[in-house]
């Protein structure tokens, strides 16, 4: 079986910084000689990211729904299983079982589709039954030869087989093994093609999927099943979250405006130069997350890396940044739920669960007609997901401000955080960053007992 690759992946609601970091870091790993690595995405790509990838001629990363251990993962390091033909004679099958010291072999057709199983126990029972009540040595010899000439299609076991699908969770397989306690269990794909055998031994020697996280380090934002994976590295620029690792890992977390800044710096540290498209992609991630350096999260390192990437890609910083925001930002919202969910992050403090979403636009006036619909959608999302409080930042980088909408059962709490006279909506001049200007303010307010 093919060994599973190391997955480099961002958060569930991926933005350009998240996707660009995953793709560029995977390419850096490949330049370093690690060929068995891929970039993935834990969610659907937003309009901005789709535009940038298409513009640069870069294939979108693979969609990874979860990184839980699957039955097929148990076969990752296994050699292809030897199989039997239904027309094979019992004697030949017995020799194979003996020579391989195997207890069970699969019987398959020409397309390797599973037909049945032959076990050493079954063969022994067939011989014992066939040689019972013999009257003479001559009769025994005749019967033995007849048994040896029997075709497997006549004696293979086909009923009540316990077969695992390659996509079955390992947890399901483990439970079934404990109930049935057979020596071996066949694994097949959706077309019933035989992939191999697993046993309880495989559970003991199971290798977790290997994952590198970029642009986040909180479990609520990570790909499903991350707690079952082997976490190798984290590259991020956000606050430290709640993820744990089994062993020490490489954890790079710096207070810069974008994870792409850190990835670009790692290229330079390792003596590699990204190709033209990768440089343009990293530059897009920096310009998007720093809002073309207008965000207060912007650092000198962001500007320095952007200048280097601009020279490599041939893309002028201000022009490329404005193109990204003008051509790809969600300005005409037909599906407000999708627009809100594209960049939504959940948080918890004490007994309060809240979410902060952000929509970036180059012309805030185009959203004004959708405000009632947006508010209604926010209330519905809050109720469905159990948010006590929900904020939506509608940010115009050229106006350099944010229209903040507040929803949820505790929207009164949100109003008190941003001013007692706020009634579900307020314009915040100079506020562009969720991470640095909104979320810290909310946590600070919630830390005051009288606010919770």
Structure tokens that stand for 183 in this block: 């020596």
Burial classification of residue 74, based on how many CB atoms lie within 10 Å of its CB (0-12 exposed, 13-18 middle, 19 or more buried)? buried
What are the two backbone dihedrals, phi and then psi, of residue 288, each rounded to the nearest 5 degrees?
-70, -50
Q: What is the pLDDT of residue 130?
A: 59
Query: Which CATH number among 3.30.565.10, 3.90.1640.10, 3.40.980.10, 3.20.20.450 corresponds to the domain 6-68+209-328?
Result: 3.90.1640.10
- Beta strand pairing call for 210-214 and 230-236: parallel
Please check whether the two domains, 73-204 and 336-451, share a CATH topology: no
Query: Residue 428 pLDDT > 60, yes or no?
Result: yes
Query: Residue 321 pLDDT > 70, yes or no?
Result: yes
C-alpha distance from residue 426 to each of 174, 212, 403, 414, 422 (Å): 54, 39, 6, 11, 6
C-alpha distance from residue 148 to each of 143, 155, 325 (Å): 9, 11, 75
Query: Could you write out the DSSP letters of every residue in 395-410?
Result: EETTTTEEEEEEESTT
Cα–Cα dist 213/226, whole Å = 10
Burial classification of residue 416, based on how many CB atoms lie within 10 Å of its CB (0-12 exposed, 13-18 middle, 19 or more buried)? middle
What does the pLDDT look like over 346-376, one tens digit per residue? 999 888 999 999 988 877 777 777 888 888 9
Residue 2: pLDDT band with limits 50, 70, 90: low
Of the candidates 360, 278, 356, 370, the one whose C-alpha atom is nearest the C-alpha of residue 324 is 360
C-alpha distance from residue 284 to each of 134, 207, 238, 358 (Å): 84, 36, 18, 18
* CB 92, CB 59: distance < 8 Å: no
* CB 336, CB 374: distance < 8 Å: yes
Q: Which CATH architecture has domain 73-204?
A: Roll (3.10)
Q: What is the pLDDT of residue 1?
A: 47
Q: What is the pLDDT of residue 330?
A: 55
Which residues have a Cβ under 8 Å from the Cβ of 1 and sit 6 or more positions away? 72, 75, 76, 77, 78, 80, 195, 196
Query: Residue 332 pLDDT > 70, yes or no?
Result: no
What does the pLDDT look like over 67-94, one tens digit per residue? 988 898 888 766 777 888 999 888 887 7
Tell me which residue has tokens 């909104």. Answer: 438
Which residues have a Cβ under 8 Å from the Cβ of 143 and sit 6 or more positions away? 130, 131, 134
Cα–Cα dist 211/22, whole Å = 11
Q: What is the pLDDT of residue 450?
A: 52
Domain range list for the chain: 6-68+209-328, 73-204, 336-451
C-alpha distance from residue 156 to each of 88, 121, 126 (Å): 11, 12, 11
Cα–Cα dist 4/18, whole Å = 22
In the chain, pLDDT over 70 holds for what percent of residues?
91
On average, the pLDDT of the chain sits at: 88
C-alpha distance from residue 409 to each of 119, 354, 380, 389, 406 (Å): 62, 11, 11, 6, 10
Query: Residue 136 pLDDT > 80, yes or no?
Result: no
3-state secondary structure (DSSP) of residue 431: coil
Q: Which CATH architecture has domain 336-451?
A: Roll (3.10)
């Amino acid at each position: 079986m093919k060994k599973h690759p190391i997955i480099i992946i961002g958060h569930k609601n991926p933005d350009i910084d998240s996707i660009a970091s995953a793709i560029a870091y995977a390419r850096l790993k490949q330049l370093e000689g690690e060929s068995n690595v891929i970039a993935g995405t834990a969610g659907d790509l937003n309009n901005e990211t789709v535009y940038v990838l298409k513009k640069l001629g870069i294939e979108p990363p693979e969609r990874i729904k979860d990184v839980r251990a699957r039955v097929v993962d148990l076969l990752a390091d296994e050699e292809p299983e030897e199989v039997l033909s239904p027309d094979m004679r019992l004697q030949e099958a017995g020799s194979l079982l003996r020579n391989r010291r195997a207890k069970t072999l699969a019987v398959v057709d020409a397309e390797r589709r599973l037909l049945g199983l032959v076990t050493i126990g079954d063969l022994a029972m067939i011989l014992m039954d066939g040689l019972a009540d013999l009257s003479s040595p001559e009769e025994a010899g005749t019967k033995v030869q007849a048994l040896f000439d029997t075709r497997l299609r006549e004696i293979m076991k086909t009923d009540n087989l316990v077969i695992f699908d390659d996509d079955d969770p390992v947890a399901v397989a483990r439970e079934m093994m404990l109930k049935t306690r057979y020596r071996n269990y066949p694994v097949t794909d959706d077309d019933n093609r035989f992939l191999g055998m697993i046993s309880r031994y495989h559970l003991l020697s199971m290798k977790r999927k290997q994952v590198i996280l970029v642009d986040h380090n909180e479990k609520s934002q990570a790909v499903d099943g991350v707690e079952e994976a082997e976490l190798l590295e984290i590259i991020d620029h956000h606050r430290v979250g709640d993820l744990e690792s089994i062993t020490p890992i490489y954890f790079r977390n710096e207070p810069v405006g974008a994870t792409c800044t850190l990835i670009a710096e790692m290229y330079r540290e390792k003596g590699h130069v990204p190709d033209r498209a990768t440089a343009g992609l990293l530059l897009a991630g920096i310009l998007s997350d720093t809002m073309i350096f207008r965000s207060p999260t912007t650092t000198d390192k962001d500007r320095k890396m952007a200048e280097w990437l601009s020279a490599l890609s041939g893309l002028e910083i201000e022009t490329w940044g404005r193109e990204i925001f003008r051509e790809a930002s969600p300005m005409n919202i037909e599906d407000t739920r999708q627009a809100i969910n594209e960049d939504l992050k959940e948080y918890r403090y004490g007994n309060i669960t809240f979410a902060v979403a952000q929509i970036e636009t180059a012309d805030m006036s185009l959203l004004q007609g959708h405000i009632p619909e947006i508010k209604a959608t926010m209330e519905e999302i809050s109720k469905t997901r159990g948010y006590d409080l929900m904020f939506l930042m509608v940010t115009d980088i050229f106006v350099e401000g944010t229209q903040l909408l507040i929803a949820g059962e505790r929207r009164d709490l949100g109003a008190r955080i941003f001013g007692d006279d706020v009634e579900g909506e307020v314009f915040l001049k100079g506020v562009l960053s969720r991470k640095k200007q909104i979320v810290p303010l909310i946590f600070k307010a919630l830390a005051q007992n009288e606010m919770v």
